[in-house]
């Protein structure tokens, strides 16, 4: 029976909500986390939001000894520790590969000596690259990629033979197409875990999260998810800065739903060796979420569309959620408007240092915005 659970990276946004979910269901939770400066600030102190019942071990997934200690008495592991910025991954290549790929390899190496009853690895929708499309005749288009020359002349949509392709929900069966160092590292984490799990009889599941939002997302990290970045801009009375034309679409899922999906995947035997999308199945344009967020935060600020392409970004991707629904019975419960109101309430007590201009300069100086 599973009772004692380790969450690597569990002091972060998703991991801390997962800890709450697991504790509520009667599990015990240990967290292994470096409290990285970009997420937790200079003081590197235990985050106030982290449930007091969590046993926090400050340590690094790349350090075999830290992992060995963290695994003592553990029945199941959620591997969440990672660096998460798509844009930043394009210039911090070594660091991203080190933490994400080597960190996972170090964990798996330790699991050979300390096998657990379940391993769940946090993968990402970014492994798909572009989502799935169909052409005007209804043919599926798997391998879409935009041309730099089109992007330079503000042609943002996916075009084939002068016809627009239509984005449709992306299932787990879509062939991965990795378009950033981050995406490559997530795919590596996923495959490495599934391969090792199979070889050593460690039941393993990979969850491909779509765009997760909610309280506790690091507001002063300019490389975090788009809603947290927009929130930080609005808190500082500045307009959210939007890449491309703002009509790119993503699938936003509330962090509490993600935490529940994680627990359900851990508890279900059927998930062993499988990969699941964890999304809401709904699609939102980036401009619409900037406007909705300003509205719930009571800020009369319109976003600024900069018409630039961030290297590594995809145009559209949203989840086909059939598999997780049919096999694990998981369906999201938090509606987007309610989730945004909850986020706005939390934001009222937050202070955010806006580092967006600094991050933009960083990307621009390296030719990573076009």
In the bound state with ligand NAD, the residue whose beta carbon lies nearer, of 128 and 156, is: 128
Select the binding partner of residue 86 from ligand UD1, ligand NAD, none (C-beta < 5 to 8 A, by kind): ligand UD1
Among 119, 219, 229, 344, binds ligand UD1 (CB under 6 A): 229
| Residues 277-306, interacting with ligand UD1 (CB under 6 A) | 286
Nearest residue to 261 (alpha-carbon basis) of 78, 52, 33: 78
CB of 163 to ligand NAD, least distance (A): 31
Strands ordered across the beta sheet of 76-79: 55-58, 28-33, 4-8, 76-79, 118-124, 204-209, 275-278
In the bound state with ligand UD1, the residue whose beta carbon lies nearer, of 111 and 294, is: 294
Helix (H) or strand (E) holding 28: strand 28-33
CB of 62 to ligand NAD, least distance (A): 5
Among 29, 35, 50, 54, binds ligand NAD (CB under 6 A): 35
DSSP string, 237-305: T---EESTTS--EE-EEEHHHHHHHHHHHHH-GGGTT-EEEES-S--EEHHHHHHHHHHHTT-----EE
| Nearest residue to ligand UD1 on Cβ basis | 124
Nearest residue to 13 (alpha-carbon basis) of 147, 201, 214: 214
How many whole angstroms separate alpha carbon 92 and alpha carbon 112? 30
**Considering the rule CB under 6 A, would residue 122 count as an interface residue with ligand NAD?**
yes
CB of 98 to ligand NAD, least distance (A): 8
Written as six digits, the tokens of 44 are 């590197």
Written as six digits, the tokens of 52 are 């007091």
Among 9-17, 148-156, 234-242, 317-325, which window interacts with ligand NAD (CB under 6 A)? 9-17
In the bound state with ligand UD1, the residue whose beta carbon lies nearer, of 196 and 217, is: 217
Cβ atoms of 93 and 183 closer than 8 Å: no
Note the residues at the interface with ligand UD1 (CB under 6 A): 84-86, 124-126, 209-211, 223-226, 229, 241-243, 248, 250, 286, 310, 313
Note the residues at the interface with ligand NAD (CB under 6 A): 8-9, 11-15, 32-36, 39-40, 60-62, 80-82, 84, 99, 103, 122, 124, 186, 209, 211-212, 218, 225
């Amino acid at each position: 029976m599973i009772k004692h659970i380790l969450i690597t990276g569990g002091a972060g946004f998703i991991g801390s909500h997962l800890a709450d979910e697991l504790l509520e269901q009667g599990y015990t939770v240990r967290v292994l986390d470096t409290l990285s400066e970009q997420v937790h600030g200079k003081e590197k102190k235990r985050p106030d939001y982290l449930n007091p019942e969590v046993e926090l071990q400050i340590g690094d997934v790349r350090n075999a000894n830290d992992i060995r200690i963290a695994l003592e008495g553990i029945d199941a592991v959620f591997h969440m520790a990672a660096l998460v910025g798509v844009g930043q991954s394009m210039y911090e290549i070594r660091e991203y590969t080190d933490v994400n790929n080597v960190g996972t390899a170090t964990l798996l190496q330790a699991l050979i000596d300390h096998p657990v009853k379940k391993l769940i690895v946090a993968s990402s929708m970014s492994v798909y690259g572009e989502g799935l499309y169909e052409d005007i005749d209804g043919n599926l288009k798997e391998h879409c990629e935009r041309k730099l020359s089109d992007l330079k002349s503000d042609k943002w949509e996916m075009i084939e033979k002068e016809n627009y392709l239509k984005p449709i929900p992306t299932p787990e069966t879509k062939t991965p197409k990795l378009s950033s160092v981050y995406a490559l590292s997530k795919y590596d984490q996923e495959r490495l875990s599934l391969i090792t799990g199979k070889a050593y009889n460690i039941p393993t599941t990979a969850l491909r999260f779509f765009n997760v939002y909610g309280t506790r997302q690091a507001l002063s990290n300019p490389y975090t998810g788009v809603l947290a970045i927009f929130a930080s801009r609005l808190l500082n009375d500045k307009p959210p800065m939007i890449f491309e034309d703002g009509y790119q679409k993503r699938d936003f899922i509330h962090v509490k739903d993600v935490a529940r999906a994680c627990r359900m995947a851990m508890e279900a035997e059927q998930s062993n060796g499988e990969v699941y999308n964890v999304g809401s199945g709904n699609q939102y344009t980036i401009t619409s979420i900037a406007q909705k967020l300003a509205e719930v935060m009571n800020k009369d600020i319109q976003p600024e569309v900069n018409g630039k392409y961030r290297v590594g970004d995809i145009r559209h991707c949203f989840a086909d959620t059939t598999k997780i629904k049919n096999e694990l019975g998981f369906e999201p419960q938090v509606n987007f408007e309610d989730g945004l109101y909850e986020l706005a309430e939390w934001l009222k007590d937050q202070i955010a240092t806006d580092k967006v201009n600094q991050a933009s300069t960083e990307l621009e100086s390296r030719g990573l915005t076009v």
